[in-house]
Structure 1
Amino acid sequence: MTTEIPPGRWCLYVLECRGGVMYAGITNKLAKRFAAHQAGKGAKFTRANPPVRILGARPYADRSEASKAEYAIKKLPRGRKLAFLSAA
């Protein structure tokens, strides 16, 4: 999985947060969204578990496809999430 996403393109991203936990989300501005998470202005989860780094991101055709991928990856156990990240 990469962190090189063309500007404006929707993507699924996975963060490693404090304590080794993972967070998945979607955005069309990855750098800006990551900065928001780090500043405590992102999701409630990342305010409680600040992100350490971006594990990866995968581009999708549109927001709908990215949302479907987010829903699917959030249901996976940690090991399968890591495999998903490695597969891209």
Structure 2
Amino acid sequence: MYILRCADGSFYVGSTVDLERRLGQHDAGQGAAYTRRRRPVQLVYCEDFPRIDDAYLREKQVQGWSRAKRLALVEGRLHDLPRLARSRTGGSGG
């Protein structure tokens, strides 16, 4: 699972079995339509998983997060994640 910072400052969350190849695709404009319109992109975070389906589940989880929560993950502020989940969902976590 990986997070890219796009040229417009937005984040793109994806998953792949070959991160280096996928980053090359994004850079060449062959990645997702979202990143094609927002190049250049920069890898700002990644997590490794033994199975692609685990990476995909994590991708979907992080895609549901607020920008503030994604930024905390990217910046390594893991202690802020529970508070940011509560502030967005009214206390149920996320």
Q: Same fold (TM over 0.5)?
A: yes
SS in 2 for 1:45: helix
Unaligned ranges ≥5, structure 1: 1-11
Q: Which amino acid aligns with 1:81?
A: R
Aligned-partner Cα distance in 2 for 1:61–1:52:
25
- Specify which of 29, 32, 40 is matched with residue 40 of structure 1: 29
Aligned-partner Cα distance in 1 for 2:71–2:49:
19
Aligned-partner Cα distance in 1 for 2:58–2:25:
22
Q: Which amino acid aligns with 1:35?
A: G
Once the two structures are TM-superposed, the CA of residue 36 in structure 1 deviates from its matched residue by 0.4
1:14 aligns to 2:3 (yes or no): yes
TM-score by length of 2: 0.75
TM-score by length of 1: 0.80
Q: Quick check: which has more Rg, 1 or 2?
A: 2
User: Percent sequence identity over matched residues?
Assistant: 30
Q: Which amino acid aligns with 2:17?
A: N
Counterpart contact for 1:15–1:51, Cα < 8 Å: no
Counterpart contact for 1:37–1:47, Cα < 8 Å: yes
Unaligned ranges ≥5, structure 2: 79-94
Q: Which amino acid aligns with 2:39?
A: P
Counterpart contact for 2:35–2:41, Cα < 8 Å: no
Once the two structures are TM-superposed, the CA of residue 83 in structure 1 deviates from its matched residue by 1.9
Residue-pair matches, total: 76
CA offset digits 1:22-74 (Å, max 9, x no partner): 00100111111111001010111111111431001100120111111000000
**Bigger share in strand:** 1
